[in-house]
Amino acid sequence: MITFYGGPTPNGRKVAILLEELGLEYEYRLVDILAGDQFKPDFLKLNPNNKQPVIVDPDGPGGELVLAESGAILWYLGEKHGGGFVPAEPRARAICHQWLMFQMSGVGPMFGQNAHFSFYAKDKHPYSIDRYANEVKRLLKVLDERLAQSRFLGGEDYTVADIATYPYVLRQIELRPAELANLARWAKEIGARPAVQRGMDVGRSDLRKETIEGGLSGLSEEQRSILFGDRQYARS
């Protein structure tokens, strides 16, 4: 059985959704990143980059496979188990890959920095806040324009590119549904899928009140140190 090290965060949820879509048996283990679980020696052996999600697949190619990076996990599981989440046809596959990379290199990092500077940073630095808020708006526009022409990001079919993007954009769609009408239409269709609902619920009870989704109650000094300070950079 696959072990899924994750949590109720956008990157964790991508993997939970695909595991549910594929109907795979898995054991969920919370990596509580506000408590510093990502720095425990046993976890660092799985991912030296101290981040969830990680999967351990005992039936990997050539034996047990430990895999980090949500995009790589989605691609691996989608290819291994079929179901069309990673298209087989070369053209559809290339386009799906493009939108998966767009999420991994654009949406994920920029939305993360936006949350950091707008909400978590103590120092409210206007240039940084504007820079990432503008990037988020720009990326959302690119997605919305794509979805004005296409049912899903990769084309007519729902793929890992959609799964990777969905947990990241929900909050923004809620904030400005009229501006993001095509994304809202797409998210409604994806959100109606039972597997997506189950995936989004994985670890919901582990949601922390300090996070944006949990209500942004404010980080303690220790949590700041773990995520952005001395504990995070202890090795450098």
Ligand X SMILES: N[C@@H](CCC(=O)N[C@@H](CS)C(=O)NCC(=O)O)C(=O)O
Q: In whole angstroms, give the CA distance from residue 77 to residue 85.
A: 9
Other beta carbons within 10 Å of 236: 4
Minimum CB distance to ligand X smaller for 218 or for 229 = 229
Residue 185 CB, shortest distance to ligand X, in Å, is 26
- Nearest CA-CA partner of 165 in 11, 5, 7, 4: 11
Taking the least distance from each CB to ligand X, the nearer of 45 and 91 is 45
Nearest CB to ligand X, comparing residues 70 and 172: 70
Q: How far apart are the first and last CA of the chain?
A: 35
Min dist CB 14 to ligand X, Å, is 8
Q: Is the CB of 128 or the CB of 232 nearer to ligand X?
A: 232
Our CB check for ligand X shows the closer of 51 and 140 to be 51
Residues engaged in binding ligand X (CB under 6 A): 9-11, 33, 38, 50-53, 69-71, 108, 227, 232
Minimum distance between the CB of residue 70 and ligand X, rounded to whole angstroms?
A: 4
The CB-of-91 to ligand X minimum distance in angstroms stands at: 26
| Helix (H), strand (E), coil (C) string for 8-36 | CCHHHHHHHHHHHHHCCCEEEEECCCCCC
Smallest gap from Cβ 149 to ligand X, in A, equals 27
Half-sphere exposure of 110 (CA within 13 A, CB side): 19
Residues 6+ apart with CB under 8 A from 95: 154, 155
Least CB distance from residue 34 to ligand X, whole Å?
Answer: 9
Edge-to-edge strands, sheet with 26-30: 26-30, 2-6, 54-57, 65-68
The residue among 43 and 186 lying less far from ligand X, judged by its C-beta, is: 43
Q: Across the strands, what pairs with 26?
A: 2
Max CA distance (Å), the chain: 51
* Cα–Cα distance for residue pair 81/86, rounded to 1 Å: 9
